[in-house]
Amino acid sequence: MKRYIAILFLAFLCVSSCKKEDELQVLGIDYLNGKAVAVRFRTSVQHSDIGVFLGDESETAVLGEIQPWENIYQFRPVVPFTSNITYTFRRKDKKVLANFAPIDQNSGKPPEILAIYPSKDAVPENLLKLHVQFSEPMQSVGSALDYIKVIDNTSNEQVSIFLALESELWNQEHDLLTLWLDPGRIKTGLIPNKTQGLPLKEGHQYAIQFSKEWKSAQGVELKQPYFKNLVVVQRDGNRPKPQDWTMETPNPNTKDPLTILFNETMDAILAKETIHIKNEIGEEINGKFTLLYQETAVRFEPLENWDTGKFKIEVESRFEDLAGNNLNRLFDKKVENFDMDREVLKEIEFLIK
Amino acid sequence: MKKLLTTFSLVAIILVTIAATITDTKSDLKAGFVVGNPEIESMDKLSFGPEGILFIGDTKKASVYAVDTKDVVPKEEGGEIAIKGFDQKIAASLGTTTDKIKINDMAVNPISKNVYFSVNVMDGTPVILRLKGEGFENVPVNDVSYSKIELNDVIASDAKDKWDRDLRIWAISDLMYHNGKVLISGLSNKEFGSTFRSIPFPFNDAQEYASLEIWHAAHGAYETHAPIKTFDVININNQDYLMASYTCTPLVLFPMSDLKDGTHTKGRTVAELGAGNSPLDMISYEKNGQKYFLMSNTNRPVMRIKYKDIASFDKTLTEPVTVFAETEGVPYDNLPFPYVLQMDNLDATNVVYLQRTSNGDLILRSRSIEWM
């Protein structure tokens, strides 16, 4: 620890500009959770005449506040300083007083793509969504599509298949991204469908490349470029049918898993969140869902031991297959008399004895 | 001199008293506001309501915040704005480079005519900046007077999932205050549907949720599964209509009185503004006694539509548009402003917009409606 402090102290000395120490001396940079949140300095100049600027910039000062802190001052920028960029203290007359450059405090561990759903390569030509799970929160700037390239290996062309959205569909942690294949091209009859055809063509093979330059929220690039292959098979024109699903039921007085086999790959996110296990009197059983066998099944592990008796699996109607067909309707279908999807549930009963 | 001083002191005391009264008395709209840190996680959409209240749409927390900016000193004119290298200026103000920022939205306070921006940095830290001359000032939102409403997901209960399952994202695509209500359109990451929320303000527990259906002339079918990109409210024959613009650009009217909780409403498509395009922003203004709407787009210049053309268009487009990118219905003019990313009314006679020029520069500019 002592050694660590000594190294940090040396680093601070290095970033301080010794020549200007009569006017302003940088004492150190304060880090919080790996972010450079403040710079401490001592100065003989009136502090209200001092500004912090990015590199050679001299017109637009960095927004923040200078606060007295014991006998010295502290400048706290509105957003943390960026590591490995040089900042400049300037006097009102633009004279340079000192420089400093925050160092990267992060472990530098690069982010990874943990999963891309659907995880199998064979997908129907009317595939609707792709979900990308990262190991940590990713950058909140730029567009995801800037880092994704899709090559049609069959025709040897770069193609554009995803829908560009102003507000991208990230989860709250910003580590799960949902990409839509352009629905306007999937729905038959729509002009984009007529003129450009389906985003994916049956019989074609595609390579989706995720650029290494995609950065984490900490500014660290992906560990490596990632690839996802798609082998496009025939259209999926059927709704999921829970009545055809099979089950592996657990034994009573155990925490054995209940496995539900769908017989086809389903939307990974919805498969985990639209299924509820309830007991005979309608109480929901607490537990954890895990995707299995390339999303053709889920395993449910209860927190408590199973009782004996009747149970039921409730599936919300918004449960979807890879083509966006849910329990109520096909994705590519006119809706004449639409009723809101909220109340319809499919129930499958099972017995533990 | 002494008399003058006494008079001055008296005036000063009166002014201070008035000021104190104004500050101390909360308006009805702000009666339920609390002071503290609302812990906003993302600021995707901004829109001003009355009394300097800024509405902030937070997609990450699926919430809308009403923040008292206290920016209530009235100004008639917004002044001329012409700033080049706008993204570089914002980046420099935040001590970083343009590749590490993202300008999410822009809104003008109709009272003070100040222009506000919501900006994200690399790690997702959201910031609100207010334009001041050619520079910016930070608008802190960690210690403010505010109220908040969560956008309950009434379709499903997953918003309160207890078992570590992924929660549904509801990305806010547009947000505006109108006549005592906050109107919000959005898109979910799970189901590709069009949902619209109407929330009474001041916030209480009530929020109305309607799903919308449009006749998509390009599709030749009724269409529910399309997201609204931007919208405005238009009053025709004393009835308010939601005028919504969708990806692939149909323009659709929904009577506001029909948008009731849990209902499914069919809209009337009044224009097809061309496929291969996505609308970005919609505003309205009045010139020489005529009302106009402006709409900025991803792949088209700013479109201008006359109010009277919308009001007098009593048909609904039901025939499929057969030629790609052909337009139908209410006529519109293309204004010579491509790549307008953000747009708002600056004052009664000016519009402010953020535009990517042909050489890649990002500029913020005001323009008289005389020339729009």
Q: In this predicted model, what pLDDT tens digit does every residue of A178-188 receive, in sequence order?
A: 898 877 777 77
Distance CA B311, CA B313 (A): 6
Cβ pair B61:A172 closer than 8 A? yes
Element (H, E) at A14: helix A2-15
Cβ pair A171:B155 closer than 8 A? no
More confident residue, B188 or B258: B258
pLDDT at A7 over 50: no
Query: From B94, which residue of chain A is nearest by alpha-carbon distance?
Result: A62
pLDDT, average across residues A120-142: 92
Q: In this predicted model, what pLDDT tens digit does every residue of B258-315 receive, in sequence order?
A: 776 666 677 777 877 766 667 888 888 888 888 888 888 877 888 898 888 888 877 6
Query: From B247, which residue of chain A is nearest by alpha-carbon distance?
Result: A184
Distance CA B61, CA B57 (A): 9
pLDDT at B325 over 60: no
Instruction: Tell which CATH classification among 1.10.530.10, 2.60.40.1220, 3.90.180.10, 1.20.120.1630 matches the domain A113-233.
Output: 2.60.40.1220
Distance CA B326, CA A146 (A): 29
Nearest Cα to Cα of residue B173 among B161, B181, B184: B184
Cβ pair A85:B97 closer than 8 A? yes
Instruction: Tell which CATH classification among 1.20.210.10, 3.40.50.2300, 1.20.1260.10, 2.60.40.1220 matches the domain A242-352.
Output: 2.60.40.1220
Place of tokens 């999807």: A341
Element (H, E) at B343: strand B340-347
**3-class DSSP state for residue B134?**
coil
Domain segments of chain B: what residues?
161-335
Lowest mean pLDDT among B38-47, B72-81, B326-335: B326-335
pLDDT at B43 over 80: yes
Model confidence at B344, in pLDDT bands (50, 70, 90)?
very high
pLDDT, average across residues B237-257: 79
Distance CA B63, CA B340 (A): 27
At residue B249, the pLDDT reads: 64
Place of tokens 């913020």: B364
| Angle made by CA atoms B117, B121, B126, in degrees to the nearest 5 | 55
Cβ pair B262:A340 closer than 8 A? yes
Nearest Cα to Cα of residue A293 among A248, A269, A258, A261: A261
Q: Which residues pair with B354 in a beta bridge?
A: B342, B364
Query: From B41, which residue of chain A is nearest by alpha-carbon distance?
Result: A172
At residue B22, the pLDDT reads: 46
Burial of A19 from C-beta contacts in 10 A (0-12 / 13-18 / 19+): exposed
Query: From B133, which residue of chain A is nearest by alpha-carbon distance?
Result: A60
Distance CA A270, CA A115 (A): 15
Cβ pair B169:A172 closer than 8 A? yes
Q: What is the mean pLDDT of chain B?
A: 79
Burial of A22 from C-beta contacts in 10 A (0-12 / 13-18 / 19+): exposed
pLDDT at A350 over 60: yes
What residues of B are in contact with residue A130 (Cβ under 8 Å)?
Answer: none
Instruction: Please answer whether residues A319 and A275 qualify as being in contact, where contact means their C-beta atoms are separated by less than 8 angstroms.
Output: yes
Q: Does ipTM exceed 0.90?
A: no
How many inter-chain contacts (A to B, CB under 8 Å) are there?
209
Q: Nearest CA to CA, how far is B33 from chain A (Å)?
A: 25
What residues of A are in contact with residue B166 (Cβ under 8 Å)?
Answer: 171, 176, 269, 272-273
Which of B225, B317, B339 is most worth mutating to test chain A (most A CB atoms within 10 A of its CB)?
Answer: B225
pLDDT at A343 over 60: no
Cβ pair A63:B136 closer than 8 A? yes
Residue B212, CA distances (Å) to A254, B186, B261 in order: 47, 12, 11
pLDDT at A172 over 70: yes
Model confidence at B157, in pLDDT bands (50, 70, 90)?
very low
Domain with CATH 2.60.40.1220 in chain A: 113-233, 242-352
Q: Does domain A2-100 have CATH number 1.10.3470?
A: no
pLDDT at B207 over 70: no
At residue A238, the pLDDT reads: 86
Instruction: Please answer whether residues A349 and A280 qualify as being in contact, where contact means their C-beta atoms are separated by less than 8 angstroms.
Output: no
Model confidence at B251, in pLDDT bands (50, 70, 90)?
confident
What residues of A are in contact with residue B60 (Cβ under 8 Å)?
Answer: 170, 172, 174
At residue A203, the pLDDT reads: 95
pLDDT at B7 over 80: no
pLDDT, average across residues A98-117: 87
Distance CA A276, CA A314 (A): 5
- Cβ neighbors of A18 (< 8 A, separation 6 or more) are none
